[in-house]
Structure 1
Amino acid sequence: MSMLHLVRTSAFQTSDFQQCLNVIQANDTIVLLDDGCYNLSHDLWQQALSKIALPALYIVEAHAQARAITIDKEKINTLSLDALMTLICATEKSVTWQ
């Protein structure tokens, strides 16, 4: 069964994103939100791209915009807050990295 990984912290400040990548499976989904949006510019992002298919990588657009983060839509998909809530409710298992 796939898992939804909600990454709320920056890899520049904690090891949460690294821990997430250590346990992630190929059919899992990653959502960057809050300060987790900063992970787009961390070296670990390349590791995430190698482990998870692009359709399963998301960033909460409003959270990225609030942090002045430019989103390359070829490397990650965007979610509205409403879409995030829908995804969480539709997923049987999730873990929050914070």
Structure 2
Amino acid sequence: MSIKQEQYELNVLTSGLFFGEGPRWRDGKLYISDMLGKKVYTIDASGTKTVIAQMPHKPNGMGFLPNGDLILKLNARDPPVSLHPERSGVVRRPLRRLYRLRR
């Protein structure tokens, strides 16, 4: 029995992140949070890295709503927040209607 091994070339897309996590792909861009750097970036296919938000706490998880709003979790205690990078790049209202806290 023979197995054909595929070969891939690895390329560095970006650098300079302290602790990048939670990558999400949307509309031709990679969104990634830098937990220790307290920033959220987009990275395009050419490797251009753009800060879309500088956060007061460590961003440590994200996703998108169907309307395109970016949802961020900043720490274990605080509720998720919505970020609108295409409009203003600032954190908007907490999303209390989307979750339920357990006490």
- Class of the TM-score when normalised by the shorter of the 2 chains: under 0.3
TM (normalized to structure 1)?
A: 0.26
Greater fraction of residues in strand: 2
Please say which structure displays the higher CA radius of gyration: 2
Ranked by relative contact order (alpha carbons within 8 Å, sequence separation 6 or more), the top structure is: 1
Greater fraction of residues in helix: 1
